[in-house]
Amino acid sequence: MVLNDNISVLQHLRSSSHPGHILVIDPDDQTPEMAAKRSIACVLAGTRCILVGGSTAVDGTPVHDTVVAIQESLELCKWNATQDSEASEDDWNIPVLLFPAGARALSPAADGITFMTLMNSRNLQFVMGEQVLGGTIVQKMNIEPIPMGYIVFAPGGKVGEVGEADLILPDQKERCVNYVAAAECFGFPLIYLEAGSGASSPVPPEMISAAKKVAPNSMIVVGGGMHNGKLAQQSVNAGADWIVTGNLTEEFDDAAELEKVMREYIQTMRS
């Protein structure tokens, strides 16, 4: 699967300027129309990738409808850009990736999928079970798998609970390093350090910097509880390549207001 004529999703992620911003859309929390509206506002603010999924979205239908709505809106913006000499079409080549809870929450309308293993789950189903069910489906759907090591930190939230994660606690830096080093040895291009959506505290910066040190070839993705640009900036300073935001964007139904908030967020994150 290619994003445009010759760029794969992974190439897009690698060649985007870092730190970059990723929006996560939970189809359980919003209509496809609202998801599309929020996605466009965030892309205008500087978001360079959109993930669709959540820890409870197990049925494919809301996921598929949401992916289709986002793709249609991006296509429309891209077409508009071709009519405007000052706008760039490329700015609208934004990958829409599945961020699935399991093998059923998939859609062929996506550009790719974070093909992940929840490395610190106690349940093998999340480490390798869903993946064995989903691999064939992903190949048939012809969506690009982006291999990802997914590691859940305290407090962990819903994903920690549903994914039965043996959470990494704030004083367990060595465990963090061991998981991340293993992820690097597997060759995962993405390693996602997750504190859980809406977490009261994000992944500690010292964990991120320790992770970055042992995984120089991977992109470090950090998400969960970064509800302002300052928190995102701390993660970036510690070594995060990508910052993921979900909850915050759901506070805004007005596109112009969301664009303004996210523009400031991304600017602060990069400053």
Residues at the interface with ligand 1GP (CB under 6 A): 24, 194, 197-199, 223-226, 244-248
Pair of tokens at residue 49 = 């990738």
Cβ closer to ligand 1GP: 60 or 224? 224
Minimal distance in Å, beta carbon 38 to ligand 1GP?
12
Minimal distance in Å, beta carbon 53 to ligand 1GP?
8
Cβ closer to ligand 1GP: 77 or 248? 248
Residue with tokens 């993921």: 244
**Coil, helix or strand at residue 245:** strand
Cβ closer to ligand 1GP: 92 or 99? 99
Minimal distance in Å, beta carbon 40 to ligand 1GP?
19
Cβ closer to ligand 1GP: 77 or 183? 183
Minimal distance in Å, beta carbon 74 to ligand 1GP?
21
Minimal distance in Å, beta carbon 226 to ligand 1GP?
6
Cβ closer to ligand 1GP: 170 or 198? 198
Number of residue whose CB is nearest ligand 1GP: 223
Query: How many Å apart are CA 94 and CA 51, to the nearest integer?
Result: 10
Burial of 187 (0-12, 13-18, 19+ CB in 10 A): exposed
Cβ closer to ligand 1GP: 55 or 92? 55
- 99 close to 53: Cβ distance less than 8 angstroms: yes
Minimal distance in Å, beta carbon 87 to ligand 1GP?
29
Query: How many Å apart are CA 266 and CA 92, to the nearest integer?
Result: 17
CB atoms within 10 A of CB 56: 15
- Tell me, what DSSP letter sits at residue 87? S
Burial of 51 (0-12, 13-18, 19+ CB in 10 A): buried
Minimal distance in Å, beta carbon 80 to ligand 1GP?
29
- 94 close to 48: Cβ distance less than 8 angstroms: yes
Spell out the residues 6+ positions from residue 128 whose beta carbon is closer than 8 angstroms to its own.
117
Residue with tokens 């998801």: 35
Cβ closer to ligand 1GP: 13 or 248? 248
